[in-house]
Structure 1
Amino acid sequence: MTLDLFDSDQPGYAQEAPAEGVVLLRRFALESDQSLVTAIESVARQSAFRHMETPGGHVMSAAMTCCGELGWVTDRRGYRYTQNDPQTGEPWPEMPRIFRELAVRAAEAAGFPEFNPDACLINRYRPGAKMGLHQDRDEQDFSQPIVSVSLGLPVVFQFGGARRSDRPMRLPLSHGDVIVWGGKVRRHYHGVLTLRRGAHPLTGDCRYNLTFRKAG
């Protein structure tokens, strides 16, 4: 599929529209990358990264933690959002202000005004990690978009259709890229291919992904 590329009013980034309801903001988070990584490290000191287990017993290759009013968890009991980190018993760390501001600005730039995220999932990928095609369907409010921020090593993002069997498009994501999707495609399948080995000057041998949702 041909990408529509056009300039933005904000210097240093550009927008692509790979499909209806999907907007890719190239380099949108680049100017605040150091502060974002510092905030990730702060969250992880309170709620450590962990490899969660799916209901079927599969251990996820990407490590995860969360921040905000709600955090997403998976275990043998199923997929769900919780107010507290099950490892600490304490509320998830407060969402850093720089996270929320970036998510709101990105959503607005993509045509989704008044985004109000209450959950941020933070995934840490090391070489060999991936995320299979899946739907984000555990939220209560599907009228608001998903905002996904990439930091560190590059990866190939897959965006599919309403059925798992629909062939996904492949979009290469680099450090600082933000992808936003919502509306009719809000619950479409998506994932990332296996992360290749590399070294990034800010994140080392890993990739971080911030995924913002309105969950409650």
Structure 2
Amino acid sequence: MSLDLFGNITPIETALAGVSLLKEFALKNEAILLADLATIVTQAPFRHMVTPSGFAMSVAMTNCGELGWVTDRQGYRYTQLDPLTQASWPAMPASFLTLSRAAAFTAGYADFTPDACLINRYQTGARMGLHQDKNERDFTQPIVSVSLGVPAMFQFGGFKRADKALSFPLYHGDVVVWGGDARLRYHGILPLKANVHPALGKVRINLTFRKAG
């Protein structure tokens, strides 16, 4: 595949075996990514989903692609329809697909084509507890995570929730790709600190690309 849209590829910094950090990888196409994001949100608005135990998530979510990840009192799962609108999730924009495939390719995954993009909006104090991404069918496919907006502190743990986690900051445009032996590591985001980004204000947006079906 061609990586011409991304110019010179940012060198990969490896935080853990199987985890690749691509600094500022998404910056070159920031404008189109944000424009496409705005279009998605008009079709499938952000909402605070409820966990199976009945707690509202501090992170607001939506999706695009063939499948969307949802949680409610019935459990965690992927759906073809947005339960809020009963319509199909918005199609994944070409800018999203190109970015995710290029990032995966750079990290050593040549055949990644996501069918789901989870879009998370963090405001001050919002967090994502340590968890595994395990609702997908094929764990040989990587996860591609794009950070936009204010900085966040990303945590990567082991294969048990109680394992000690490594923390490192993520900034606007950074992309993390993990797979292989690291695919089922626990990971999360510490409570977002108050900050302001010139393009997105006081929020952080996370685009998480997965091959779910």
TM-score by length of 2: 0.95
Shift of 1:11: 3.3
Equivalent residue, structure 1, for 2:82: 85
In structure 1, the residue corresponding to 2:33 is in which secondary structure?
A: helix
The answer (yes or no) to whether the contact 1:14–1:27 under 8 Å persists in 2 is no
Moved over 4 A (4+): none
Shift of 1:10: 4.8
Matched, 1:158 2:158: no
| Equivalence map 1:56-75=2 (5 Å) | 56-75=53-72
Which runs of 5 or more structure 2 residues have no equivalent in the other structure? 1-5
Letter paired with 2:142: P
Equivalent residue, structure 1, for 2:131: 134
For the residues of structure 2 that align with 1:81 and 1:196, how far apart are their CA atoms?
Answer: 30
The answer (yes or no) to whether the contact 1:43–1:93 under 8 Å persists in 2 is yes
Shift of 1:12: 7.0
For the residues of structure 2 that align with 1:14 and 1:172, how far apart are their CA atoms?
Answer: 17
Equivalent residue, structure 2, for 1:4: none
In structure 1, the residue corresponding to 2:206 is in which secondary structure?
A: strand
Aligned counterpart for 1:212 among listed residues 190, 209, 213: 209
Letter paired with 2:171: S
* Count of aligned pairs between the two proteins: 208
Matched, 1:25 2:22: yes
For the residues of structure 1 that align with 2:206 and 2:155, how far apart are their CA atoms?
Answer: 14
Equivalent residue, structure 1, for 2:43: 46
Aligned alpha-carbon RMSD (Å): 1.1
Equivalent residue, structure 1, for 2:3: none
Distance 1:59 1:168, change over 3 A: same
Deviations 1:46-99 (A, max 9, x none): 000000000001110010000000000000000000000001111000000100
Which runs of 5 or more structure 1 residues have no equivalent in the other structure? 1-8
The answer (yes or no) to whether the contact 1:12–1:27 under 8 Å persists in 2 is no
